[in-house]
Amino acid sequence: MRIKWFSLVRITGLIMVLAYHFYPKQVTGGFVGVDLFFVFSGFLITSLMIDEFAKQSHFDLLAFYRRRFNRIVPPLWFSVTLVLPLSLLINRDFLTNIGKQVAAAFGFVTNYYEILTGGNYENQFTPHLFVHTWTLALEMHFYILWGLLVWFLVQYVKRSRFNRIDRTDLLRLRIGQLSAVFILIQLAVIYLQIQQGINLNVIYFADVTHAFPFFIGALVASLTGIRQLPNYFKHVLGRTSAGGAMTGMLLGLALLAGLTALLKFDQPITYQWGFLLASLGAALMIVSARILHDKTPSIEEPRLITFLADTSYSVYLYHWPLIIIFGHLINHDLAVLLTISLSLALSALSYYVIEPMLTHPKIKPFWHRSALALMTILAGITFVICWQAPKLSNLSQHLWQGNLQQDVDQLHSLADNTATQTGHNRQIPKGISVIGDSVTLGTRTYLATHLVDSSIDAQPNRNMTQANQVLEEQIRNKTLRQNVIICIGTNSLNDYQEQLMKLIQTLPKGHRLILMTPFDGQANAGWNSSKLTVLERTLPDKYPFITIADWNRLAGQHREIFGSGDGTHFAGNADGDKLYAQCLNDALAKAEKGPVKNK
């Protein structure tokens, strides 16, 4: 039994997720679209379980697992194996450890793979091609656990003395009670983990904190249903008009739209209340759609809506790796258009042609064998790509080399300073102190020989607060050189202005300050790094000892140095090294003609 207007629920979730992935800075809360999917999955699966028991007084657990496998695995297989060869068109850094990503996707453990690797700084700039399969991991875990628990509930109910109808009501009651327990436990765990300061990524990806929307869906299923409806809900159906059902859908949609516009991924309130409110909005849409189905018997669901709903799962699978690949080859808006078009085409091929060839019981053996042969060929190609993929990205190699050289240089610098500084006779060391982030660290080896008499301290993910800490430490250790270069800004936090002014005030007398403006090829005017650039350019007029090394402008004129990379790092590109050093040396030459800080 296909329920009309459920398609609108699916499409709403898909649009929210696509909008967030395509335009994350504009659609900041679109990630709650996955919670809508979770609620719908919990509702649909649980409703079908109840319907099966009501009809047959039985629940076939193995048949349930087989249906879930056939629906989830073939589209996943084809999406991964068809898209992976396209990744050869972009920077090989995206293929680093791709075999582990593929294994995590097919093993339905991507959520835990992301928890273990998501803290890696490099992943912020070279995102995993199959990170989006974390939702499938949660979904599969839910199906395995929930299927088993409902099977046990069915055995319990079958031993009761009630008749079939009463047994179905008893099963509904127990499913609702168990769902409510899981919901309350998970919400309590979320609250406690936020109070303890647990990394929000862990809360987002973990089953124990992000599976509760499935159970909200299961709870709604226990109260409503698809075929077999409880008597009170039949009464609700009789008293609710089509207009009332439409109003309910619009209210749920409005709530989700508001959350999409307001929520942000890195805010604790999103985890404490945002996901719960999104799940409740999804539940309202589902119940309203179920009522609207009965209230519109003469209206057919438009075929376009049905098509989009049928292919929504596969579109979700294809869109993320495709937007990463195309986004590094062509203009972003064109990449979005191409991603949507190709995702729809491949999804239609998968849903209407390839999947039936594998799973339809009446398919001819020839077509079944053909589909299996295609899967085998794609598996072979995938294996070769994974086997030849780099184990360490170019960025990681340069960061590792830079860190190693930096440790050696800092030991020498400290030894030299200890030998030359005696008593209270402190002389300001001549030369250059560079405080930088991962961009500086990636080109450190080149700077060591092309930035004369320099001491470089750079670390990945460094922000202005941490730059202040390094500055203060060098002041205490009496290692801060006369010309101080700050290459910080790509990782700007909301307090960038306060921290920059603190740095200017902390800088001792007798020093010059060179501020290198940050460049992020993905940033727009609303990003903190862009705002920091604007602020830094105004400072020399107020502080004569400050000079600007305008990397933002220079790098923007030479985007070719980033290749098909992340638009921020150019580690390993000789032209990028030269341009970066040129930017610093030109600013230094200008600074040398100006005054030092005198008060």
Q: DSSP labels for 301-341?
A: PPHHHHHHHHHHHHHHHHHHHHHHHHHTTS-HHHHHHHHHH
Helix segments in 328-427, DSSP class H:
332-349, 355-359, 365-388, 394-420
Q: Which domains does the chain have, with CATH numbers?
A: 6-388 (no CATH), 394-592 (3.40.50.1110)
Q: Residue ranges of the chain with pLDDT lower than 50?
A: 120-122, 419-425
> How many beta carbons lie within 10 A of that of residue 193, not counting itself?
19
Question: What does the pLDDT read at residue 160?
Answer: 77
> How many beta carbons lie within 10 A of that of residue 24, not counting itself?
14
Helix (H, G, I), strand (E, B) or coil at 547: strand
- In sequence order, the β-bridge partners of residue 233 are none
At a CB cut-off of 8 Å and minimum separation 6, what does 559 contact?
521, 567
Question: What does the pLDDT read at residue 121?
Answer: 40
Helix (H, G, I), strand (E, B) or coil at 573: coil
CA distance 488 to 346: 43
Question: What does the pLDDT read at residue 460?
Answer: 79
Question: What does the pLDDT read at residue 199?
Answer: 84
Phi (first) and psi of residue 504, to 5 degrees: -65, -40
CA distance 581 to 506: 26
Show the tokens assigned to 8: 């609108």
What's the burial of 578, exposed, middle or buried (CB within 10 Å: 0-12/13-18/19+)? Answer: middle
Question: What does the pLDDT read at residue 345?
Answer: 96
